[in-house]
């Protein structure tokens, strides 16, 4: 007799034996969450709480599929780069946060909603991926977005991204190494290139990273006898006519003013034409050498969405109703599938029904409503009048611009700058971080940062932990074509 689930690792019964789809269907409702980022993890947390009794009785099973074993809280990455927060404290280990859910460290490769199944590859570093078939009854689509790259000459060789913890730590070490290099070299051209930092894209990632690193570098140069803050050149390049497109125009204009006051060279309506040979060429005709080029030019919806049979809008996001159900061909809810976060085109009632901007505020608020609506649909069906529509509260936006500097808007429309904005910004993110353990750790980092002077040492060698050991063997002989393998 063929093994259940076509011989692939799949769903198991409550006592651990693999089971046929139909048997499981009778006893357990399987909720599959694709993506364990802000929206996916928050949905799982709310469902875990709201369906606790049904989960314990085995009536419902929640599986979160995420390639990393943790959630990365992106809004605090800039503070990781500045050294204000320990890198481990901005990630939330999923298995600890979701003890009543199954967490699968895998990447979903395809979703066939008509057949109610997803295909995934289990991720084991350095090994061939293990294919998995994941049947489900209810699907939550939350794979977020990815960086939008462009075919700019030299970008792939010399640019770096800023969306992971590794990139944040790597950029911090790189910036500090450039100060060391500038201090040590006698070549004026090399010195200038080392002290020029270019960020392309003025969204959250670009503005936050530049502002925090500029602040850190300004502090760090106090320790150098021959590098002054005025020697550092920070350039922010943005293709559109404003920065922070995800935020209100008022907050964006205010942030722009603050950056320019600090001497940041912000170039609007300008694009990067080339970075070949570490020489930055911009569309306004300027050319200069820069050893640091950070690419943060926007995001596009996760490419996974193209490998699904779900309806997408022109930008490639899943089309959703205000209830966060995916829209079917008849304009009504497609049964059993929901979406939230950056990947979802959810109408924003404050923007005449245009899709919500891709930001963490929407991702968390949508996740909370989605979990509530899934619980209602489980009780009363997918067209229940009890399903609520997504109505985000007034935007509570803020941007950190370094230690004790930020700009923020209050929910009542007030505008804050400086320390008060900075405290408000920190309080908001502390409240949003989806783990009490992480909240305490981040708070402790901030308290320690206030008590002691800033830590500005580069630990770039951590990125090559074997180099010292390998150096002990001396230079490696060149391998000829006939050398034994
Ligand atoms: C550097 C940076 C700074 C930011 N700062 C702010 C800020 O200050 N304020 C703000 O509001 N927003 C900010 N944002 C935006 C905010 O982080 C996102 O809008 C938010 O994370 C969206 O949540 P999400 O769950 O949709 O996506 P994510 O949080 O990105 O989660 C998506 C998850 O899906 C996983 N995934 C992807 N593909 C697959 C697959 N095929 N199978 C399974 N899992 C998959 C990913 O690994 C990821 O963990 C920032 C973003 C960045 C990058």
Question: What single string gives the DSSP state of each residue in 31-89?
Answer: EEEE--SHHHHHHHHHHHHHTHHHHHTTSEEEEEEESSSEEE-GGGHHHHHHTSS-GGG
- How many whole angstroms separate alpha carbon 212 and alpha carbon 78? 6
- How many whole angstroms separate alpha carbon 66 and alpha carbon 183? 43
Nearest of 199, 175, 347 to residue 270 by alpha carbon? 199
Do residues 297 and 148 touch, judged by C-beta distance below 8 A? yes
Q: What's the whole-model pTM score?
A: 0.89
> E strand or H helix at 97, and its extent?
helix 94-97
What pLDDT, on the 0 to 100 scale, is given for residue 461?
73
Is the CB–ligand 1 distance for residue 66 below 6 Å? yes
Say which residues have a Cβ less than 8 Å from residue 448's Cβ, sequence separation at least 6.
none
Half-sphere exposure of 57 (CA within 13 A, CB side): 7
What pLDDT, on the 0 to 100 scale, is given for residue 249?
85
What ligand 1 atom has the least distance to the C-alpha of 341?
26
Is the CB–ligand 1 distance for residue 297 below 6 Å? no
Say which residues have a Cβ less than 8 Å from residue 215's Cβ, sequence separation at least 6.
82, 401, 402, 403, 405
Do residues 352 and 31 touch, judged by C-beta distance below 8 A? no
What pLDDT, on the 0 to 100 scale, is given for residue 256?
94
What ligand 1 atom has the least distance to the C-alpha of 120?
42
What pLDDT, on the 0 to 100 scale, is given for residue 484?
53
Report residue 457: phi and psi, to 5°: -100, 140
* Structure token digits, residue 43: 């949905």
- How many whole angstroms separate alpha carbon 70 and alpha carbon 93? 4
SS percent in the chain: helix, strand, coil, step 5: 40, 25, 40
What ligand 1 atom has the least distance to the C-alpha of 304?
41
What pLDDT, on the 0 to 100 scale, is given for residue 11?
44
Output the CA–CA distances (angstroms, integers) from residue 399 to 66, 99, 239, 255, 405, in the order listed: 28, 33, 20, 8, 9
> E strand or H helix at 212, and its extent?
helix 204-220
Output the CA–CA distances (angstroms, integers) from residue 266 to 119, 234, 378, in the order listed: 44, 8, 51
Q: Give the model confidence (pLDDT) of 395-418 as tens digits.
A: 777 888 888 888 888 877 778 888
Say which residues have a Cβ less than 8 Å from residue 442's Cβ, sequence separation at least 6.
76, 85, 89, 90, 429, 430, 433
What pLDDT, on the 0 to 100 scale, is given for residue 37?
97
* Structure token digits, residue 19: 């089971």
- How many whole angstroms separate alpha carbon 373 and alpha carbon 385? 10
Is the CB–ligand 1 distance for residue 178 below 6 Å? no
Cα 104 to ligand 1 centre (Å):
18
Q: Where are the beta strands (DSSP E) in 123-226?
A: 130-135, 138-141, 145-147, 159-160, 196-200
Output the CA–CA distances (angstroms, integers) from residue 317 to 312, 321, 326, 453, in the order listed: 5, 13, 11, 45
What pLDDT, on the 0 to 100 scale, is given for residue 12?
43
Which residues in the chain land under pLDDT 50? Answer: 1-17, 19, 21-25, 485
- How many whole angstroms separate alpha carbon 259 and alpha carbon 264? 5
Q: What is the CA radius of gyration of the chain?
A: 25
What pLDDT, on the 0 to 100 scale, is given for residue 407?
85
What pLDDT, on the 0 to 100 scale, is given for residue 88?
95
Cα 365 to ligand 1 centre (Å):
14
Cα 52 to ligand 1 centre (Å):
26
Cα 248 to ligand 1 centre (Å):
20
Is the CB–ligand 1 distance for residue 282 below 6 Å? no
């Amino acid at each position: 007799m063929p093994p259940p689930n076509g011989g692939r690792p799949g769903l198991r019964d409550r006592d651990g034996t693999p089971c046929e789809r139909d048997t499981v269907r009778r006893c357990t409702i399987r909720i599959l969450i694709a993506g364990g980022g802000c929206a996916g993890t928050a949905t799982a947390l709310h469902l875990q709480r709201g369906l606790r009794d049904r989960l314990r009785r085995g009536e419902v099973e929640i599986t979160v599929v995420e390639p990393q074993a943790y959630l990365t809280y992106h809004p605090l990455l800039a503070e990781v780069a500045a050294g204000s927060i320990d890198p481990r404290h901005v990630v939330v280990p999923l298995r600890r946060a979701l003890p009543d859910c199954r967490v699968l460290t895998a990447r979903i490769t395809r979703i066939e909603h008509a057949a109610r199944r997803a295909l995934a590859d289990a991720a084991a570093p350095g090994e061939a991926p293990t294919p998995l078939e994941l049947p489900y009854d209810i699907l939550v689509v939350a794979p977020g977005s990815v960086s939008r790259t462009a075919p700019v000459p030299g970008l792939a060789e010399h640019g770096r991204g800023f969306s992971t913890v590794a990139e944040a730590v790597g950029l911090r070490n790189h910036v500090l190494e450039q100060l060391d290099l500038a201090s040590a070299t006698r070549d004026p051209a090399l010195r200038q290139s080392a002290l020029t930092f270019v960020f392309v894209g003025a969204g959250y990632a670009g503005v936050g990273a530049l502002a925090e690193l500029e602040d850190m570098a300004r502090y760090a140069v106090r320790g150098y006898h021959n590098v002054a803050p005025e020697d550092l050149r920070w350039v922010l390049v943005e293709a559109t006519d404003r920065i922070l497109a995800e935020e209100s125009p008022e907050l964006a204009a205010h942030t722009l003013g603050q950056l320019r006051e600090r001497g940041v060279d912000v170039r609007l309506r300008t694009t990067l034409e080339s970075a070949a040979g570490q020489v930055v060429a911009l569309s306004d005709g300027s050319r200069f050498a820069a050893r640091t080029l950070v690419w943060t030019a926007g995001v596009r919806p996760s490419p996974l969405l193209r490998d699904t049979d779900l309806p997408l809008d022109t930008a490639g996001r899943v089309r959703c109703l205000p209830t966060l159900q995916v829209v079917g061909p008849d304009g009504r809810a497609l049964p059993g599938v929901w979406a939230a976060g950056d990947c979802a085109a959810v109408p924003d009632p404050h923007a005449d029904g245009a899709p919500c901007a891709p930001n963490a505020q929407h991702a968390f608020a949508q996740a909370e409503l989605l979990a509530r609506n899934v619980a209602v649909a489980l009780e009363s069906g997918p067209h229940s009048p009890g399903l609520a529509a997504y109505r985000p509260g007034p935007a509570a936006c803020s941007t950190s611009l370094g230690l004790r500097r930020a700009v923020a808007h209050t929910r009542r429309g007030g505008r804050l700058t400086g320390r008060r904005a900075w405290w408000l910004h920190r309080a908001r993110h502390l409240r949003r971080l989806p783990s009490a353990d992480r909240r305490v750790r981040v708070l402790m980092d901030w308290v320690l940062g206030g008590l002691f002077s800033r830590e500005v040492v580069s630990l770039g060698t951590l990125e090559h932990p074997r180099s010292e050991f390998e150096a002990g063997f001396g230079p490696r002989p060149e391998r000829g074509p006939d050398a034994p393998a």
